[in-house]
Amino acid sequence: MWRSLFVATTAVALTLSSADAQVVDFSKYPNLKGQWNRFIVRGLPGQPSFDQTKPWGFGQEAPLTPEAAATLRASIADQANGGLGNSVEHARCSAAGMPFMMVAFQPLEFVVLPETTYILIADYDPLRRIFTDGRDWPTEITPTFQGYSIGRWIDSLGNGRYDTLEVETRGFKGPRIYDISGLPLHDDNQSIFRERFHLDKDDPNLLHDEITVIDHALTRPWTVDKRYVRNGDRLANWPEVDCPEYNAWVFTGRENYYLSADGYLMPTHKGQAPPDLRYFEKPKK
């Protein structure tokens, strides 16, 4: 849906009358066309992580405060016992938000227009919008999982062409995590993310997102070079993900159960009690 919308929007913009249309030299911008998939390091345990070169959980070596480390430890222990830990809201199909949405569990697509750069995400969060029209920060920001992003294009080589997109994002609501292990951000939602997007100088099919996290769950800013690889197939498959359609989790309060293929409720860990059935009639013997 989003992809069709942007194709139509771009077509309308290009067919405006010459009196109204803004002439845009797209050759000034880097070529970000195509499908971008996460850079994968084979052999790492766990699901996709914030730092793609390290295992998830404590393997990320995030500079966590003692309180945040305790939260992560409890999350991992609960998951080892069959629970969902600190990722319970994500399992309920809540938006991933920043920075989890940039893990590229599904492919990304970049749509570069003069006043806004869009990142289309084929997963929980369908769209990220980065304003590049020179605006200042608004007096008030309505909190969202994605946050409010302002960016600017940089010509670092002085050759008349942009090569780097610098972005700052703030204005969040939560809860948000880095990955499914439950690596936490602070629940005050005062996170700030600063990013530098640029193509690799030796490989135009490798995109860097140098992202720095400033968050009260960290003892210092944490910088990671996230990377994405361009799929050169012009007919690449674009997956459609509908979280509720494939979700077999059933929740009652903080307890999670699983719906079996034959439609029965299953426990997720040994010794788990069934849900409270006080409002249901007891079956007749």
Tell me the residue type at 260: S
**Residue range 78-112, pLDDT digits in tens:** 999 888 888 888 888 888 899 999 999 889 999 99
The share of the chain scoring above pLDDT 90, in percent, equals 58
Summarised one tens digit per residue, pLDDT across range 59-81 is 999 999 999 999 999 999 999 98
Nearest Cα residue to 52 out of 44, 107, 125, 169 = 44
Residue 3 is predicted with a pLDDT of 52
Pairing of strands 35-38, 116-121: unpaired
Identify the pLDDT of residue 279: 87
Sign of CA dihedral 133, 134, 140, 141: positive
The confidence score (pLDDT) of residue 96 equals 87
Among candidate residues 138, 139, 120, the one with its CA nearest the CA of residue 128:
120
Domain with residues 23-231, CATH architecture: Beta Barrel (2.40)
List the chain domain ranges: 23-231, 248-285
Tell me how far apart the alpha carbons of residues 29 and 87 are, in angstroms, rounded to a whole number.
38
The count of residues in the chain is 285
Q: How far apart are CA 195 and CA 163, in angstroms?
A: 14
Compute the mean pLDDT over every residue in the chain, rounded to the nearest whole number: 88
* C-alpha 228 chain-centroid distance: 13
Q: Which residues of the chain fall below pLDDT 70?
A: 1-22, 285
Predicted confidence at residue 12, as pLDDT, reads 44
